[in-house]
Amino acid sequence: MSYDGEGALMPSLQVRTDRHDPYVVITVLGDVDTTTIDHLQEQVKHAQRVSAHLLFDLAGMTFMDSAGIRVLLDAYNHARANQGTVAVCSPRPSPRKVMELVGLTDYIPVHDTLIEALTEL
Mean pLDDT by runs of 10 across the 121 residues of the chain is: 42 90 96 93 97 97 94 97 97 94 96 93 76
* 6 is a domain residue: no
Distance between CA atoms of 91 and 88, rounded to whole angstroms? 7
CATH code of the domain covering residue 40: 3.30.750.24
Domain that residue 109 falls in = 12-120
Determine, yes or no, domain membership for 105. yes
Report the number of distinct structural domains present in the chain. Answer: 1
Task: With respect to residue 1, please indicate whether it lies within any of the assigned structural domains.
Answer: no
Q: Nearest CA to 90 among 61, 51, 48?
A: 61
Whole-number Å distance between alpha carbons of 45 and 42? 5
Query: For residues 61 and 105, what is the distance between their CA atoms, to the nearest angstrom?
Result: 17
Cα 64 to Cα 121: distance, rounded to the nearest angstrom: 24
